[in-house]
Amino acid sequence: MKHDKHKFLKGKQIIPKPIPKNISVNQLVDEYFQAYNSGRLREAAHLLTEKMLSADSTIGMSLTGALTPAGLGGACIVPLIKSGFVDWIVSTGANLYHDTHFAIGHSLHRGTPFTDDRLLRKEGIIRIYDIVFDYEVLLSTDAFFRKLLRLHEFQNEMGTAELHYRLGKYIAEREKILGIKNSSVLATAYRCGVPIYTSSPGDSSIGMNIAEVALAGYKIKLDVLLDVNETAAIVLDTKRKGGKSGVFILGGGSPKNFVLQTEPQIQEVLGIDEKGHDYYLQITDARPDTGGLSGATPAEAVTWGKVDPDKLPDAVVAYLDSTIALPILTSYALAKVKPRPLKRLYDRRESMLGGLYREYTRIKQRKKVKANE
């Protein structure tokens, strides 16, 4: 039997030509990211710009790892939000807490991971790997949050999207007063109507300060179960309107799972007919064989209903550092794709949740009728 070997040789030929001076990011990615994880990053850039950012797609982003202390909030996530390239976010609370330092006038600095940390502790210096800042930055940011959290508008039960929206309003005001532009993810998300969720709200300094306010007798309370249904409602609403759902995963952890579990919540738990996310882009340095990517490689995610099996080819995992990949992908996307109209999903949370509830109750009713037949 003769094999058609040419079908395996259809990819662009690798030509080891020298890199020119002053090359653009786009040219570097398209012409010089040839193989291994540079090849996966090229594929990720093409998936993002050619499919995920189509007019009918809704993009959920997850943020894990200390991205905002490294300046990537203002440098990358803010431009992506403003361009309509990110429609909803699940983040660690830590990223949102450190995001706020810049917006209220504090400074973080480049440092080294090879300092004597006992000396840093003595001098009141905080270190996040090779980022350093004064301990007073923490105390001042804590005080800022506690002052806000004692306000009347926070004295009720709410999901984390509403919490972050309300906080974002005041952070945006502080940016304006200080003349700081485009530094804060929370402020930008507030302005653009992008809902931000935290899957583990107690696991951060924001959560710690909420706990202090509650201990002092204030009535603030977070409804994390509302977050589960709101995020599922966003995905279902997208699909029911004929659109596509994409996930842009930076790192792993709880936010990774939270953005992916929307489909199992729809299908497995609520019993609603659905197939999974359409587009899957992940940047990670974890490995599946140690459990670090458990349930979250695209193929494995298919078995959970997280990813549409028919769309598995539209899934890319690049195994590299988010602090390298995100600036490259951001620059590439901003150069390749025109800004999209803002979907302002925050403003539509109640209507989307209503749609989820109506479909869920119809299914429950049909099952009840069938059981009584």
Catalytically annotated residues: 306
Cβ atoms of 66 and 128 closer than 8 Å: yes
Q: Which residues pair with 134 in a beta bridge?
A: 125
Distance CA 318, CA 320 (A): 6
Alpha-carbon span 265 to 272, nearest angstrom: 9
Residue 258 token pair: 């939270």
- Helix ranges, 252-297 (H): 253-260, 262-264
> Hey, which bits of 176-329 come out as E strands?
196-197, 221-222, 244-250, 279-284, 315-319
Query: What distance in Å separates the CA atoms of residue 114 and residue 196, rounded to the nearest whole number?
Result: 35
Question: In the numeric block, which tokens belong to residue 3?
Answer: 């094999």
The rounded distance, in Å, linking the Cα atoms of 290 and 318 is: 17
Beta-bridge partners for 128: 131
